[in-house]
Amino acid sequence: MYWTLELASRLEDAPWPATKEELIDYAIRSGALLEVIENLEELEDDGEIYESIEDIWPDYPSKDDFFWNEEEY
């Protein structure tokens, strides 16, 4: 399983919290790329309810990762 920003961004507006099946259904209805659906199908299915994209992709960049802070450099 692999995630890219483009693929994961298709799930940002998903109805969180959601189960694996609900995320797959949302991805299909929203016209997400086949790679998104394939990645979701590869999730371990133990009935877990995912609260956000970070539960699926722990390294998902936050909005803070995209802002430039001149004082840091």
- State the pLDDT at residue 4: 79
Is 36 domain-assigned?
A: yes
SS3 42: coil
**Domain contains 7:** yes
Tens of pLDDT, residue by residue over 21-52, are: 999 999 999 998 899 899 899 988 778 899 98
26 with 15: CB under 8 angstroms? yes
Q: What's this model's pTM, rounded to 2 decimal places? A: 0.77
In a domain, 73, yes or no: no
Looking at this protein, which amino acid is placed at residue 54?
E
Domain containing residue 12: 1-54
Distance between CA atoms of 8 and 27, rounded to whole angstroms? 11
Whether 30 is covered by a domain: the verdict is yes
**Count of domains observed in the chain:** 1
Percentage of residues of the chain with pLDDT beyond 90: 36
| Higher local confidence (pLDDT), 27 or 59 | 27
The answer to whether residue 2 sits within a structural domain is yes
Residue 25: predicted pLDDT:
94
